[in-house]
Structure 1
C-alpha cells in the first residue's frame, strides 16, 4: 500500500477544533464494548434461574458462557479477514444487530438447544466486534490522541465488569433473568441508531492493498505484543478465576468485597492510563506489569492477612485496569489503523486462549496435592514476570518509550 493511499483513508486533521476527540462517537463504541461484555458474561450471574427455566443443570447453563467464548475464539480471525474489504460502519452495525437478536432469542427461549445456538451466534458477533473497536477508535481520533481514544472505548469492559454485571444480576433478582437479557437486547438496538448518527464510516481495505494475515502476524513488534498479551492473561486468570478459594484460605470470607475492590480499582487504572498513554506508553506499561508482579508476591507471602489481601488486590486492579489498553494501543500503532482489525482479531484469539489456559492452569494447581490456593500467586508471578521481560526486551519494535509524531 502506498503512503499516499494510506494517508487519504486514515489521516485526521490535527489543528483547531478537529484535534478534539469525537467524544459522542467514542462513547458509542464504549457502550458497544459494554454490551459485548454483558452479553458474554451475564449468564454466569443468573445460573439458578436459567437452570430452572431451561430445565438443565447449572453446569450446562455455564456452558452458555463457554460456547460464546469458543465461538468468539474460532471466528475472530477468519471472519475479520473475510469482512476486511467492507465499509466499517455497516459491519459494526451488523454485529450490534446480531447482539440484539441473540439476546432477544435468549430472553424468549425456553429450549436449551435454541438458547445455546443463540449464544454461539452471539460469540461470532463478539469476535467480529472486538476485532474492530480499537482500530475504529484509532481512526476516529487525531494521531497524538489515539491512545486516549482507545482507553475511552475499552473502559466499557471495566464498567461492565464492575457495575454492569452486578446491576444485571440485581435486575434479574427483581424481575427475572429474562428481563436482564431483554434489557441488553434493547440496549444493543438503541446503540444501532447511536452508531449510525455519531460514528463515522470508513472504507474497507481495497483488494489490491490487503496484506495476508500471516504477513501482518510477522510484522516486527506484533509477535512481542501477542506474547505479552498471552503471558499477562495466563498469569491474571490463574489467580483471578479462583479468588473465592484464595479469599477463604485467608479467612476473610467475603469474596464479594474483594471483587468489588478489584473492580473499583480497575476503573481507577483506566483513568490513570488515559492520562499517561499518549505521552508515556512504555513506562506506564512497565509500571503496570511491575505492580501486578509485586501484588502477586505480596499475596503469596502475606495474603492471609486481610489488610495485605485487600491492598494487594487493589494494586492488582489498578494495574490490570490499564495494562490491556496499553498493550492494545501498542498493537494498533504497529499495525496501523487500516490493518488494526486483523491485528486485533489475532489479539482477541490470543486473549481468549490466555483466559482458558490460565483458568485451567489455576484449577490444576488448586486441585494438586500439597499445593492448593496458597500456590496460585506463585503460579501467576513467573508468567507476569515473563510479560514484563518481553516488554523490556522489545523496546525498539513493539514498546518504544515514545511514538514518532503523527504515527
Structure 2
C-alpha cells in the first residue's frame, strides 16, 4: 500500500538546497509557534497568583486562556485574508510584535478588564502567526521534504503546550506571575531578531489568485479533516486544561509536575518520529495518533487508580498528540493544494475554537458530573475522530496520491 506524500504546489526558493532543509529559517518559524502557544497556556500555571492581583475568582481568571483562544479563532480567517498580499516575513514580524507588546503590558496590568483586553489582542496576533507557519515552511523546503518542514515549523505548538504550564509555574515561584509574562515578551523579541536575520522574505498571494472561502469549504476531503481535528482537539483540551483536577481525582496531585514532564518528553519524541516519516506515511500516522490517544484515555478512565498505568497512559497521550498539528495541517494542505493558504487559516480557526470549547465544556462537565466525566467525554470524541480518519481513505486521509 502506497502512503500519502505531502506535496505543496509552491515554488522552491533558491535558498533551499536540494534535499536539505533550511534549518535556521525553520527554527524561526518553530520559535514563532512556540511563543504563540506558550503565551496562550501561560496563565494556566499562574491562576492563584494572577487571581490575587486582579481581585477575581480562579474561574474568571482562567477565562484569560479561553478568550485568547477565542480571539485566535475569530481572527485567523479575516486577518489571513486581509494580509494575504503582504510579504510573509512582514506579517510574521507584525504578529510577533503584537504578542510581545501585549505580554509586556499584561505583566504591568492589575485590572481584570484591561488584562482581558490585552489577552484578546495577543490572541489576534497568534491568529496571524499560526496560518502562516505550515505554508511558509513548505515554500522554504525542497521538493519532497515539505511534510518534514511543516512538522519542524509546527513542532513549537506541542512543545509549547507541554512546557507552558510548568514554565509559568517555575517563573512565578522565582519572581511572581509578572516575571513569566516579561520573560515571554523578551523571548518574543529575541524571536523577532532571529526571524529578521534567518527567515527569507517570501511574497504574498496575488489578488487575482485568491480563492473565496465558500469555494474552499466544499473541496472534497476538507470537511472530514476539520471534523476529525475538532473532535481530537476538544478531547485533548477537556483533559489537558483540567489535568491538575484529573490527577487530584486519582490521588496523584503531588506528582503533577512529573506527569506533565512525561507528557512533554513523549511529545518531543513524537515530533522526531513524525518529522522523519510524515512525507511518506501521513495517513498511517494520523490513524495511529487518534487510536493511541483513544486507548490512553480509556486506560485513564478504567485503571486511573494505578500510578504506573497513569504514567504510561499520559506518555502515550503525549506521543499521540505531539505532532497532531503537523498531521492535520499536512492533510489539509494535501486536500486543498492551490487553496492551501486559506485552508490553513480555516484549520487554525477550528484548532483554536476547539481549545476554547474544550476548556469551557470541561468546566461544565466537572461542575455538573464530576472530574471523571471529562475522561469519558474525551473518549467518545476520540472514537468519532478515529472513525472519521479511518473512513477518509479516499480524499481526506488517502491511502495513495
TM over 0.5: yes
Q: 2:68 aligns to what SS in structure 1?
A: helix
Structure 2 equivalent of residue 282 of structure 1: 283
Give 1:240 deviation, angstroms: 3.0
Q: How far does the alpha carbon of each residue in 1:235-264 deviate from its partner, in whole angstroms, 9 at most, with x for none?
A: 222333333333333333433332222222
Q: How far does the alpha carbon of each residue in 1:76-102 deviate from its partner, in whole angstroms, 9 at most, with x for none?
A: 111111211222111111101111211
Change (3 A) 1:53 1:317: same
Structure 2 equivalent of residue 262 of structure 1: 263
Structure 1 equivalent of residue 140 of structure 2: 140
Give 1:185 deviation, angstroms: 1.5
The one of 388, 391, 394 equivalent to 1:390 is 388
Give 1:57 deviation, angstroms: 4.0
**Contact persistence 1:249–1:304 (CA under 8 A):** no
Q: 2:200 aligns to what SS in structure 1?
A: coil
Change (3 A) 1:266 1:108: same
Q: Structure 2: how far apart are the matches of 1:82 and 1:318?
A: 36
Q: How far does the alpha carbon of each residue in 1:297-323 deviate from its partner, in whole angstroms, 9 at most, with x for none?
A: 222322222222221121111111123
* Larger CA deviation: 28-37 vs 305-314: 305-314
Change (3 A) 1:97 1:339: farther
Structure with the bigger RCO (C-alpha within 8 Å, sep 6+) is 2
Q: How far does the alpha carbon of each residue in 1:217-237 deviate from its partner, in whole angstroms, 9 at most, with x for none?
A: 211111111111011112222
Give 1:356 deviation, angstroms: 2.8
Q: Structure 1: how far apart are the matches of 2:195 and 2:280?
A: 29
Structure 2 equivalent of residue 239 of structure 1: 239
**Contact persistence 1:279–1:402 (CA under 8 A):** no
Structure 2 equivalent of residue 3 of structure 1: none
Q: Structure 2: how far apart are the matches of 1:15 and 1:65?
A: 38
Structure 2 equivalent of residue 380 of structure 1: 378
Change (3 A) 1:218 1:49: same
Change (3 A) 1:373 1:205: same
Report the aligned-residue RMSD: 2.5
Give 1:25 deviation, angstroms: 0.4
Structure 1 equivalent of residue 328 of structure 2: 327
Give 1:296 deviation, angstroms: 2.2
**Contact persistence 1:88–1:204 (CA under 8 A):** yes
Q: Structure 2: how far apart are the matches of 1:175 and 1:15?
A: 43
Q: Structure 1: how far apart are the matches of 2:283 and 2:325?
A: 13
> Which ranges of structure 1 fall in alignment gaps of 5 or more residues?
1-6
**Contact persistence 2:158–2:321 (CA under 8 A):** no
Give 1:105 deviation, angstroms: 1.5
In our comparison, the structure showing a higher alpha carbon Rg is: 1
Change (3 A) 1:220 1:317: same
Give 1:14 deviation, angstroms: 9.8
Q: 2:323 aligns to what SS in structure 1?
A: helix
Change (3 A) 1:183 1:239: closer
Structure 1 equivalent of residue 175 of structure 2: 175
Q: Structure 1: how far apart are the matches of 2:321 and 2:260?
A: 13
Aligned length: 394
Q: Structure 2: how far apart are the matches of 1:291 and 1:58?
A: 33
Change (3 A) 1:16 1:146: closer
Structure 2 equivalent of residue 4 of structure 1: none
Give 1:153 deviation, angstroms: 1.4
Q: 2:146 aligns to what SS in structure 1?
A: helix
Q: Structure 2: how far apart are the matches of 1:27 and 1:323?
A: 19
